[in-house]
């Protein structure tokens, strides 16, 4: 099973600041990685797939990068609605696995 | 518009069984790949099971392998998850999710149904 480790666990920033979230895989997964945003009490929303492709309707301030084992989700300038929990997910091997999440909170 | 609506959750005793349903609309269900993902209270996301549209191949997480069965009814566009020998650690919100492209990412999600396993 591929383990995804996200860091930091919690990130405290202010609106307008840049957010950088990390996801590290226990073995190479090429670019078979997605990022999701989840707000309290809601279902997750797909943001990024294949490492760097934005899903339909996702604002350009969200970008993804990386390949192999190290991946990054960047939010260029935080909006108030961006404060949420973010998960990475790999599709390289079965079972599909998720990272444990990064909570992005308002400072 | 793609819609996924889960039902069937509730309170069940350890060792009991439950069948979750996901009613779908707005897309061609027969050729779509679907999955169940769960989230224990206050915890992260855990993939549970998958059903590929074409070929009807199924996959299961080790945590539910042998205790769960994913299936579908094309006539009613409904996805199911039959769960048995339920454990306290199966307590979670269960989401139905659809693969929107030919890749195993989840573009569409239902609102979830809560399963509580407790005596």
Please give the Cα distance from B69 to B62 (Å, whole number).
Answer: 13
Whole-number pLDDT of residue B69: 97
DSSP class of residue B43 equals S
Residue appearing with tokens 């997750």: A44
Is A57 exposed, middle or buried (CB count within 10 Å of its CB: 0-12, 13-18, 19+)? exposed
Whole-number pLDDT of residue B55: 77
DSSP strand pairing (B113-117 vs B10-12): parallel
Quote the tokens at residue A90: 């790999």
Tell me the shortest Cα–Cα distance from A21 to chain B, in angstroms: 16
Q: What are phi and psi of A101, to 5 degrees?
A: 100, 150
The pLDDT profile of chain A, 107 residues, written as one tens digit per residue, is 999 999 999 999 999 999 999 999 999 999 999 999 999 999 999 999 999 999 999 999 999 999 999 999 999 999 999 999 999 999 999 999 999 999 999 99
C-beta neighbour count of A106 within 10 angstroms: 11
Residues of B in contact with A97 (CB under 8 A): 47
Please give the Cα distance from B60 to B93 (Å, whole number).
Answer: 17
- Quick check: A9 contacting B, CB < 8 Å? no
Residue of A nearest to B44 (CA): A100
**Which residue numbers in chain B have pLDDT < 50?**
none
Residue of B nearest to A95 (CA): B61
Contacting A residues, span 30-69, partner chain B, CB-CB under 8 Å: 32, 34, 36, 38, 43-46, 49-50, 55-56
């Amino acid at each position: 099973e591929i383990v995804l480790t996200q860091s930091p666990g919690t990130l405290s920033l202010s609106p307008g600041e840049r957010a950088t979230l990390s996801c590290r895989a226990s073995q190479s997964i090429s670019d078979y990685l997605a990022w999701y945003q989840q707000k309290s009490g809601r279902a997750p929303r797909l943001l990024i797939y294949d490492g760097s492709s934005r899903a339909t309707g996702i604002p350009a301030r969200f970008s993804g990068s990386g390949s192999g084992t190290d991946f990054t989700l960047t939010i260029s300038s935080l909006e108030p609605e961006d404060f949420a929990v973010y998960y990475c997910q790999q599709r390289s091997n079965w079972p599909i696995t998720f990272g444990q999440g990064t909570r992005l909170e308002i400072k | 518009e793609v819609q996924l609506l889960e039902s069937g959750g509730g309170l069940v005793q350890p060792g009991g069984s439950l069948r979750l349903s996901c009613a779908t609309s707005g897309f061609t269900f027969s050729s779509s790949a679907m999955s169940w993902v769960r989230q224990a209270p206050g915890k992260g996301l855990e993939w549970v099971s998958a059903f590929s549209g074409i070929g009807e191949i199924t996959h299961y997480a080790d945590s539910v392998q042998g205790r769960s069965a994913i299936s579908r009814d094309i006539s009613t566009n409904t996805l199911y998850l039959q769960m048995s020998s339920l454990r306290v650690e199966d307590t979670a919100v269960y989401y139905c999710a659809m693969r929107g492209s030919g890749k195993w990412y989840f573009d569409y999600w239902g609102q979830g149904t809560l399963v509580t396993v407790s005596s």
